[in-house]
Each structure stands twice: as C-alpha cells, then as structure tokens.
Amino acid sequence: MTKLEKFAEILIQKLRDENYEFYLSQKNYSQSMTLDEYNQKSKNPNYDTESQKTDDERFEFLNSLSAKQIEQLDKLILSTLDSTAFNFLREVEENLLTDKSIGMTIEKHNVEQFTKELLSGTLFGEYFLWCKQKSKFGKYQY
C-alpha cells in the first residue's frame, strides 16, 4: 500500500466513516424503542444535566422522524461530512505556498508531495474517488 493510499484510508475513516457511524448509532438507538420506553429508563445520576438534556432532545427528535425524513437526514449528514472533508482538502491544497498553509504528513512524508500520483490532479478532487473506493458508505453525497 502506498503512502497516498494510507493517507486516503485514514482521511476517509476519520473524517467520514467514524463520524457517520456515530450518527447511525444515535439514530438506531433512537429508533430502537418508543419515547415512553426511553423516558422510563433510569438515568445516570452522575451524568451532567445539560448533557442529559441534549441526549434526551436528540432521542426525541430522531425518534419522531418518519422513514422518509430519516432517509433525507441520512443523506444530509453524509453530505455534510463529505463537504467538510472536501473543503478541508481544498483549503490545504490551495494554500500550500502561503502563510496559511496547513502541513500534513504521513510516515514523515508531506502529503502535497503525492500530487503526481493523483488521478484528478488535486487532493480534493481525489476525495470523490476515495469515498467510492474506501468508504463503508459508498460514493460522495451531494
């Protein structure tokens, strides 16, 4: 596996798949029981009150959505993650030679040195391909 492939796997895993899996776990939990069942569950008395309130509101929101709304929310969350990663990579690449440059390395090699290996010519352009090839959740979401 090349350094670029390792970088792509890490990027997809950390910026896309792990975050989407977190959302899916929250969604699945919220759909695993009724609101009444959730409210009857005992709460951890050591848990921060504000955090519990946030958890309760999230549960209620996700529990109240229809199947069509959930489908749209799934797409929106994945699209937001993809836009974030794409914009981050574009920012990195567009500012390589400026004072705003963000340096990234993998195995002590600068990521920007891999541009000759890129099919699209840019890191952010390559993100589309990486989603399709390396993500558990398929192609880039618009």
In 3D space, the residue among 130, 99, 95 whose CA is nearest the CA of residue 112 turns out to be 95
Which letter does DSSP use for residue 96 in this model? Answer: T
Contacts of 46 (CB under 8 A, 6+ apart): none
For the segment 24-56, what is each residue's pLDDT rounded down to a tens digit? 999 999 999 999 999 999 999 999 999 999 999
Residue 64 has pLDDT above 80, yes or no: yes
Query: Cα separation of 35 and 40, whole Å?
Result: 9
Structure-token pair, residue 73: 């929310």
Listed residue (129, 112, 136) closest to 8, CA to CA: 129
> Residue 106 in 3-state DSSP?
strand
pLDDT digits (tens, 9 = 90+) for 92-118: 888 766 777 777 888 888 887 777 788
Q: Strand, coil or helix: what is 109?
A: strand
The rounded mean pLDDT for the chain is: 92
Q: How confident is the model at residue 122 (pLDDT cuts 50, 70, 90)?
A: confident
SS3 of residue 105 by DSSP? strand
Closest by alpha carbon to 81, among 25, 23, 120?
A: 23
- Quick one: pLDDT band at residue 142, thresholds 50, 70, 90? confident
